[in-house]
Structure 1
Amino acid sequence: MKKIKVGILTMSDGRDYLHQEYEQINMEYQEDIKEALEGTGLFEVVAGNQPINSNEAAKREAKKLEEAGVEATIFNYTIWCYPQYTAVAQNFAPGPYLLFCNLHPSECGMVGMMAAAGTLEQLDVKFKKLWGSVKEPEVLDKMTAFLKAAAAVKRLRGMTFGNFGGRPLGMYTAVANLEQWQKEFGIDVENVEQDDIIRAGEKAADEKVEHAFAWLSELTGKIEYDGEGLTPEKLKQQIRSYYGLRDIISKRGLDFIGIKAHGDLTDRYVTMDLAEALLNDPYDFDGPKEPIVAATESDMDGALTMQIFKLLTGMPVLFADVRHYDKENDVWFFSNSGTHATYFAGASMDPGENLKNVTLYPETHYYPAGGASVHHFAKEGEVTLARLARKNGKYSMTIVPARIVQFDKEKMAEMGNTTTPAWPVAFTRIQVPADEFIEKFPCNHIHGVYGNYVEELKLAAELLNMDIQILQ
């Protein structure tokens, strides 16, 4: 993932003799923050050249951050400092803003931070406060979480969502308001005809298709050809659809996409399951790549949820239906025919480690055009699940800390066969009773990544002025 560019400005006292007395300690604290952040490998830090002790200095140093293109700014307070400098600096230094102070009784950093915070509140400027030593892991973790969230929110702006085909199967929750997306997130929506996928795929070079077919044939655990729903020719057609999508995404400058598929491609061409899975993967037939969020059923709010996850983590994101609850084993079946990245079969950056656990089954009769369904059981591990939803036009974020679990292969196959045997499944345990989850979760699609990203999601939702619901 591209490093996050962070700015740091350290505030000082407006009385020159005190500014000079504390200049060295101010710069030492600033350097501690810079070193700690750069030590994570996640950040590129642009630090102020001097502690700010005048309005002129505040403007000058803040403009340097603006010119450098930082994605968030830390205002640093180690001593008492004039709050006006923060007020001036925020006119130029790019937000979101984190106000940070040291914790030491002989230094008035906390007083300086609280005075600056009160000033920004009067100006109705959004910010987050943090205090302590950046050398403490807990404090650094909180700082890192905020900066990840800030960058994710900032990076949404200027993005383009590719909407292939429009609303599927009558789902209101899959369609968002274009005007609202531009106003709240800075995202544009490009509508694309699904026939374009077919036309672009037909132009894929035969040698590339044959190479991809050989790659899948070698690495995939099983390919269950049946001579009708799944044939080598139909698998190659799915490969062409993937290359067609990559070509459209590149030429039209799309950052993330959704594909309707149902009723059109699934009836008369082939399903998009393989293409969607590989778009979301961190690799394809041609080597490592950045995951490209692709939501099946062209679910716009689902895709946006996934894109926020991707911007926070850089990792592949799960898309699934809330399919079934198994009382006996206390697990949810999160399953969908499309969009399950093969990454979830092994949680490895090595495609071979994941694909050996994948079976390409013939698609079900729901999709008469046929093709392969990308089947696997998601690898066990801690996950953070979430969903954006709207009520009366206002967005909220529902966050679900959870754990994907596995059983022995025979039992998982038996459990999977009770739903749709050809589809991938993430057997998942959540922290709230089933009745509460059903009551409070806002729609039929759920998304997530491995790891604990509850704090980052909360911070991103706060920065986007969303209500937050955590089911734990």
Structure 2
Amino acid sequence: MARIGVISISDGRDHVHARNADFIRSKQDGLVESLRRAGHQVVVGDDLVATNVLATSVARKVAAADVDITVLYYSVWAFPHFTMLAADATRSPLVLVASTDPTEPGLVGMLAAGGALDQIGRRHTRAWGAPDDAELVERIGVQAAAAAAAKSLHGSTFGRFGGRPMGMNTAVANTDQWQRKFGIDVEEIDQYELVLRAEKADQAEAAKAREWIERHAAGVHYDGKKLTPELLERQIRSYLAIRDIIAERNLDFSGIKAQPELTENFATMDVTEAFLNDPYDWNGPKETHVCATEADMDGALTMQLFKAVAGTPVLFADVRHYHADRDIWDLCNSGQHATWFAARSDDPAENLAKVNFYPEVFFFPAGGASVQHIAAPGAMTLGRLTREDGEYRLQLMLGDFESYDAATNKLLVDQSTPEWPHAFARLDAPGELFLSKFGANHIHAVPGDHRPALRALADQLDIRLDEWTRG
């Protein structure tokens, strides 16, 4: 959960503030208790703001606690210039919250303060309700989750293995823009480093991992050519190698170009990428590490934000095909979907029981295993950060992953590439609109409806929101 600062703003007249102080504290205590019951950490201002000096000093102390958002609370009429001074003393996103108790003009105080912030262009959001109003607490929580996700980017490092893949412009972002807008540094790493490290990786652990995969997967389909135990272990050693590089260089998320150098001369990175994105490997539970195939920078950035908001692994896929007769999309890319999506279980054995490791197809002469499964059904939030004329936009929609009987699944996967993973998605976006407007070939998804937090995130980052629905 998020870290929320709460500062109550009061009337600047001594005699009025003295009359109102207990009322303000009772409302503030109720709101703080509600936020804490919801699981948030709350940092409360050390005094009620009733002077210009307190407006600055209280806000600075709350800001020093590294809060994700600052709630400025209005349970009475409050002098607007106190809000202006407090806002200037903090850089966190602001949520102006008004008590709706009609005995005191808290709404008036919030509106006067909000109008003043509008005049100077200071972004903020507004909410109102009783201190124990569940809807109010949820609205504040959504803003806090979005702010925490945005803040998590600042000071982070993206590891970019290789350069632009196959002339794919949408996979490359401006590093200056990333630093300025998101606070992200980009570490450029040659793919040869990965090859060298893989050759020196622990052979015993690679063998242990291969045996674990063989024991738990639905099938490992060796063919003696494109997929052998040796090639699978090479892919596993690549995972061990990049994991070491991630630790040494303190990479927060990453992307691997792979095509064509690795896929034609070494091995595909499908196994590596799948297990990096998984919440486990053969050694047990672990933190997911967002890794985008084809070193897709905006794809990885989208995944990192989706992960921060949803707290789950994030799907990476091509928009492979639209079955217009069924109004479903086949989201399918190489073989790098995290195995977690096969059943979305905390038990890796349950997920892997639905995963097949097939020999790579003709696109990839170096061979290795593709990680094939059909994503488990359920409601999904889908989207991507794309750019139009150099400016970021968040293209966002809700949808459902679907799975069918064995014969229908086979019919559908055989129409594209059956050896690769598939997510059959019914999107809220009409097919014609999606194909006319979506700004990339890659799309990303997390379970559940996380649109409120992502809307807030787009607003806080000053990114245009393109949200698509039917009707």
TM-score normalized by the length of structure 1: 0.97
Does structure 1 residue 266 correspond to structure 2 residue 251? no
What displacement does 1:402 show? 0.6
Q: Provide the residue aligned with 2:26 in structure 1.
A: 28
2:403 matched to 1:406? yes
The 3 A distance-change label for structure 1 pair 350 and 40 is farther
Partner of 1:371 in structure 2?
Answer: 368
Q: Residues 32, 352 of structure 1: CA spacing in aligned structure 2 closer, same or farther, 3 A cutoff?
A: farther
CA distance in 1, matches of 2:410, 2:131: 48
CA displacement 1:170-195 (0-9 Å, x = unmatched): 11111111111111111111110111
TM-score, structure 2 length as denominator? Answer: 0.97
In structure 1, stretches of 5+ residues that fail to align are none
CA distance in 1, matches of 2:410, 2:264: 28
Q: CA RMSD in A?
A: 1.4
| Structure 2 residue aligned with 1:108 | 105
User: Quick check: 442-451 or 25-34, which moved more?
Assistant: 25-34
Question: After the TM superposition, which of the residue ranges 240-249 and 335-344 deviates more from structure 2?
Answer: 335-344
Q: How does 1:362-441 map to 2 (within 5 A)?
A: 362-441=359-438
Matched ranges for 1:66-215 at <5 A: 66-215=63-212
What is the aligned partner in structure 1 of residue 453 from structure 2?
A: 456
Select 1:4's aligned residue among 2, 5, 14: 2
**Shift in CA distance, 94/47, structure 1 to aligned 2, threshold 3 Å:** farther
Within 5 Å, give how 1:292-371 maps onto structure 2.
Answer: 292-371=289-368
| Deviates most, 384-393 or 433-442 | 433-442
Deviates more, 1:182-191 or 1:14-23: 14-23
Distance in 2 between residues matched to 1:220 and 1:32, nearest whole Å = 52
Distance in 1 of aligned mates of 2:64 and 2:387 = 36
Contact 1:70–1:94 (Cα < 8 Å) also in 2: no
SS of the aligned residue for 2:208 comes to helix
State the distance in 1 between where 2:414 and 2:167 align: 27
Structure 2 residue 441 is matched with structure 1 residue 444: yes
Distance 2:24 2:198 in 1: 59
Contact 1:338 1:373 in 2 (8 A): yes
8 Å CA contact retained: 1:100, 1:131 = yes
How far has the Cα of 1:91 moved from its partner? Answer: 2.3
Offset, 1:202: 2.8
**8 Å Cα contact 1:220-1:357 kept in structure 2:** yes
Q: Which moved more, 1:131-140 or 1:319-328?
A: 131-140
- Is the CA contact (8 Å cut-off) linking 1:364 and 1:422 kept in structure 2? yes
- Displacement, 1:169? 1.0
CA offsets, 1:280-328, max 9 Å, x none?
1111222212211111011111111111111112211111111001123
User: Residues 60-114 of structure 1: CA distance to partner in whole angstroms, max 9, x if unpaired?
Assistant: 2112122211121111111111111111112223411111111122121111111
Which residue identity lines up with residue 73 of structure 1 in the other structure?
Answer: T
Q: State how many pairs are aligned.
A: 469
Query: What is the CA–CA distance in structure 1 between the aligned matches of 2:85 and 2:100, rounded to whole Å?
Result: 25
Contact 1:296 1:338 in 2 (8 A): no
Deviations 1:33-86 (A, max 9, x none): 222222233x22111122111122122211212221112111111111111111
CA distance in 2, matches of 1:257, 1:32: 43
| C-alpha separation in 2, matches of 1:430 and 1:215 | 36
Cα gap change, 1:276/1:179 in structure 2, threshold over 3 Å: closer, same or farther? same
Which deviations, in whole Å up to 9, do the C-alpha atoms of 1:110-155 show, x marking residues without a partner? 1111111112112221111111134233222221111111111111
Task: Quote the Cα distance in structure 2 between the aligned partners of 1:215 and 1:77.
Answer: 58
Tell me which residue corresponds to 2:46: 49
Distance 1:63 1:432, change over 3 A: closer
Corresponding residue SS for 1:90: helix
User: Which residue number in structure 1 is paired with residue 16 of structure 2?
Assistant: 18
8 A contact 2:203–2:237 mirrored in 1: no
Deviation (angstroms), 1:197? 1.1
CA contact (8 A) 2:336 2:421 kept: no
